[in-house]
Amino acid sequence: MGPDQTLSEELDTVQHRWEQMTAVPESPRTLMSVIEYSLGTQRKAEVYVNRFLKYLLDPEEPHGMDSDLLRTFLNGLPAECGFQEDTYDLSDIVVDEQARVTQEEEDGTVVSSGIVDLLIEVPNEWFLMVELKFGAEDTQTQFYYRDVTHLGGDPQETYESGAYYVYLRPRDRPTANEPEFSNWTWEELCRDVLNPFILDNGSRLSQRTVAQLHEFTDDIANITGMTEHQENEREKIALFLDHYDAISDVTDTFDEAWDRFTGEWGARLGNALAEDGHGSVPNHDDEQVTRFILTRTGGDAEPWNFRSNSSDWGMIFKDGWWRHLDDLGGTIQSRPDDRNDVRIGFHHRLGRNRDLAIGERTLKVYFRNMGANDQRFIDTFSRTFDANEPQIAEALPGRATITGNKKDKIVVPYDIDAEDRDFFTAYIDALETAYVDLIGDNNDLVTEIDSIFCESLEAEYDYSDN
C-alpha cells in the first residue's frame, strides 16, 4: 500500500469520527456563572467582557500573546467593515476600553461626549471603534459615526489612513442604529477568531492564558445563549491530535500552493484573457502588477492593471483610477510614500474570502471606493454613485448586488467550478468570467464608473480631465 493510499484512509477515519460527534454533553459551569457575577445584570456582563477583551487584545498586557491575538482579531473582522490596514507591525497600537470621544467646535468647546466600549488605534493613522452589546438598546452608534470629532484628545481628521466601526452583539439582537457600523455577532467572534486561535496557539501559551481564553469563550456562550451551538471542542482537538501528521501534510501542501497563487493570480489572469482573445499582456517591469491591454470591439486599446502584491487584496483597476493628489492628471499603480492618493477599482479578497472560495467554491468580486481615500472623497463618490444607481443597475449582470455601502459599492458572486479539476485553474476561470462580465464586455458599466470618478474629482479637488 502506497503512501497516498495510507493518507487517504487516515483522512477517511477523520471524516468518520467527525460525523460521529453529534451528541454534545453539557459543559461544566464557568467561573462567572458560579459566582453569578454577570448573569443577573446585562450591564455587568458588558463591563466584564469589555475589560477582559481589552486585556486579551492589548499587546502590553502580561498574557504572553504579544500582538498575536490582536492581529487575528483585526484580520477576522467582518468583510463589511472594510478593514485593510497593515497588521504586520503593531508596535504602535493602542488598545483602550471605555474611551471618551467628543464632539467639539473649532474653539475647543465640547458640544457632547460619549464612551466607546473598545477603541483600537494607531495614533494619526487609523482607528477602530467597537461597541459591545448583550441586551441593552443601541443609543450611541449614530453619534459615534456622525458627530464625533475627537478621540480622546486627538482630532478625528488626523487619522489619515482609515476609520472603522463594528457593532458586536448577540445573533438574535437588533443591528446597530447607524448603518455605517458593521454588524458582528459574538458567535462569529468565537467561531471565526477565538476558537481557531486557541486551537492553533494553545500549545505554546501559558496554561493560565489558555484557561482564560477558554473561560472567556464559555462565558460569552453563557451570556448570549450560544451554549447549545458550541462544538464538542475537546473531542475535536483529540481528533486533530490523533491525525496531526495527515492533516498537517495536506494542509501544508495546500497552504504553500495558495501562498504562491496570491502572487501569481494577476499574471495567470492576464495570460488567460490574452489566450481567449480579449487583449494582450505587454512587457512590464513591475513584478507586482500585471498590465493587460483590453481590446474592445471598435474601440481604443484600454490599459488595465492586476495588482497581486497582497495576501488578501487582489486589485483590478483601469489606468486613471489611481491618482496622486499632487498630480491628478497622472496615473499610478501603487501607493505613494506619502499615501496622498485617491483610487477606485474592482477587487477580490484572497485572504478574507479564502474559506468562502475553498468551502463554498464561491468567488466574490467587489467594486470599491477605497477606504484609504479621504473621507470627503469617499462621501462624494458614494453620493454620486447612488445618484446614478439606475444606470449602474441596468449595466450590471443579474447576479450583482448594489450594496448601499459607502465603500464596497457592488458585489458579484461567481462559481468556482473545481469539480474534478485543479482548484486554482478553476479560480482563474471564475475571475476571467468576472472580468469579461463586468469589464471586458461591459463598456457601459466602465464608462459610467469613469464618469462618476471624474465628477467626484472635480467636485472635491476642482480637477477635470477635459
Please give the residue that has the higher pLDDT: either 6 or 72.
Answer: 72
Q: What is the pLDDT of residues 62-108, one digit of tens each?
A: 999 999 999 999 999 999 999 989 898 999 999 999 999 999 998 88
Give the model's pLDDT for residue 228. Answer: 44
Q: How far apart are CA 328 and CA 30, in angstroms?
A: 59
Grid coordinates in use for 21? Answer: 460527534
Give the model's pLDDT for residue 403. Answer: 95
- Is the pLDDT at 15 greater than 80, yes or no? no
Which of 414, 424, 413, 418 has the alpha carbon at shortest distance from 259?
Answer: 424
Q: Where are the beta strands (DSSP E) in 186-283?
A: 279-280
Q: Where are the beta strands (DSSP E) in 370-404?
A: 401-402
* pLDDT above 70 as % of the chain: 89
Q: How far apart are CA 83 and CA 126, in angstroms?
A: 10
Please give the residue that has the higher pLDDT: either 231 or 42.
Answer: 42
- Is the pLDDT at 38 greater than 50, yes or no? no
Give the model's pLDDT for residue 444. Answer: 96
Domain parsing of the chain, residue ranges: 31-242, 250-461
Q: How many residues does the chain have?
A: 466
- Is the pLDDT at 218 greater than 90, yes or no? no
Q: What is the pLDDT of residues 400-447, one digit of tens each?
A: 999 999 999 999 999 999 998 999 999 999 999 999 999 999 999 999
Q: What is the pLDDT of residues 176-191, one digit of tens each?
A: 999 999 999 999 999 9
Which span out of 42-56, 155-169, 224-238 was modeled with the highest average pLDDT? 155-169
As a whole number, mean pLDDT of residues 312-333 equals 94
Q: How many CB atoms lie within 10 A of CB 360?
A: 12
Scored b (16 or more CB within 10 A) or e, 55-94 reads bbbbbeeebebebbbbbbbbebbbebbbbbbeeeebeebb
As a whole number, mean pLDDT of residues 243-253 equals 85
3-state DSSP call for residue 88? coil
As a whole number, mean pLDDT of residues 49-67 equals 93
